[in-house]
Amino acid sequence: MFKISMIKKLFFLLAFLLFAQIVQAQSNDLIRYNERRLQMTRIGMLTLGSWAIGNMAVNGALMGGTSGRRYYFHQMNVFWNIVNIGLAGTGYYSALTADPTALTLAESIQEQHSIEKLLLLNAGLDVAYIAGGFYLMERGRRDSPQSERWKGYGQSLLLQGGFLLIFDALLYTIIHQPSSELYSFLSAIQPTTNGLGLVYRF
């Protein structure tokens, strides 16, 4: 009886240690996943910020030597990228200060969904910007004192909207691609007769 009791205790101890190791491995994988997602977001925001700074510098320098449609094209590019640099800075700071170790699996999935939905929403807005650019260029064909302004602003919207559409589509693809790893963590959690259990397959 004593030997059977000791064997049972030893078995439960080994099972507990194995369970703890599995949970720790799952936790480490989740942390690494969140670290990669935040790193990709930081790179994306640096790319957007670099585009914005470059646009402001180049178009700001060219504004002084141009007039008419070209002047308004450069002017809108500068105005547009003031907003872009603000968005890039905010996004970069948020990704930089986020703690990948503080997120649970449910919170990680929620964060993944949030950024994917945001990028898809942005892509929809980018299409609207491009459509707005075509509208302004069409309006600029009319005989009006503002025709050169509309043409310049329309060309700017086409350029900026086109870049942002490509940017948001690429960033969405890059961030969404490894999301299957996140959901693979759920496969280890399965219902049992007593509730939920962690299943580990060798």
- For residue 98, is pLDDT > 80? yes
CB 151 within 8 A of CB 69: yes
Residue 85 has pLDDT above 90, yes or no: yes
- Lookup: tokens for 4: 């059977």
Banded pLDDT at 13 (limits 50, 70, 90) = very low
Q: Are 103 and 30 in contact (CB under 8 A)?
A: yes
Quick one: 77 exposed, middle or buried, by C-beta within 10 A (0-12, 13-18, 19+)?
buried
* pLDDT, position 136: 95
Structure-token pair, residue 186: 């759920």
Would you state the pLDDT for residue 17? 41
Give the pairing of strands 195-198 and 189-192.
antiparallel
Percent of the chain beyond pLDDT 70?
Answer: 74
Residue with token string 């004593």: 2
| 201: helix, strand or coil | coil
**pLDDT tens per residue across span 135-166:** 999 998 887 888 999 999 999 999 999 999 99
Interval 85-101 mean pLDDT: 92
Measured in degrees and rounded to the nearest 5, phi and psi for residue 196 equal -100, 145
Residue 187 is predicted with a pLDDT of: 56
Q: Is the pLDDT of residue 196 over 50?
A: no
Distance of CA 112 to CAs 14, 43, 95, 103, 106, Å?
35, 16, 13, 11, 10
Q: What is the mean pLDDT of the chain?
A: 81
Give the pLDDT confidence score for residue 6 in this predicted structure: 60
